Amino acid sequence: MANTSSGRPGFVVWLTGLPCSGKSTISGWLSKAILETSRNVEILDGDIVRTNLTQGLGFDKDDRDRNVRRVGFVANLLSRNGTAVICAVVSPYRNIRDELRADVTNLIEVFVDTPAEICAQRDVKGMWAKAKAGELKNFTGYDDPYEAPKTPHVHIKTQEETVDQSGQKVLDYLLSQGWL
């Protein structure tokens, strides 16, 4: 396992949850907090990754799994080289997340648990409305399943917590496990 110059191993915080659940917001908060510990941090956000790394993949199960595997591969490379990596990816299927937990070094699974109706209210892009109108097919949480993690390392309930409280839960876990 590779380490940073300070001798600390890298790790991957994998935020999973419905679209618009708060993954990107929490990853931004967490990135700032981790940077304050003098760690190198990279965010792999699902929307940005789909535009730049996995462009051309669709939204059927095979392509979603392929997308998650690619993000996991990049995250693993970065973490093996001492970087703290935060992945904010819907990753709706439990089997592929379980595969990541087995294959990615130092992966911390965080379930960003937000009810679909709250996600739809937060949606600034109008994706939930398009799914409801039948304009967007295979939308996770609407007409495509989201399989919640059974044993995440951290369970966040964004409808009950502020961003600071949710981010702090993850940060506290990282500190308690010696990652920071």
Do the domain assignments include residue 53?
yes
Range of the domain at 169: 11-115+148-175
The pLDDT, as a whole number, for residue 30 is 98
**Residue at 28 is within a domain:** yes
pLDDT for residue 93 is more than 50: yes
Q: What is the pTM of this model?
A: 0.92
Q: Which two tokens stand for residue 123?
A: 């949606």
Instruction: Count the domains in the chain.
Output: 1
Task: Read off the pLDDT band of 153 (50, 70, 90).
Answer: very high
As a whole number, mean pLDDT of residues 10-26 equals: 97
Whether 142 is covered by a domain: the verdict is no
Dist CA 179 CA 10 (whole Å): 8
Which amino acids are annotated catalytic? Answer: 91
Give the per-residue pLDDT at 3.
Answer: 44
DSSP of 80-129: HTT-EEEEE-----HHHHHHHHHHSTTEEEEEEE--HHHHHHH-SS-HHH
For 39, the token pair is: 């760690």
Q: Is 26 part of any domain?
A: yes
Domain of 92, CATH number, reads 3.40.50.300
Q: How confident is the model at residue 47 (pLDDT cuts 50, 70, 90)?
A: confident
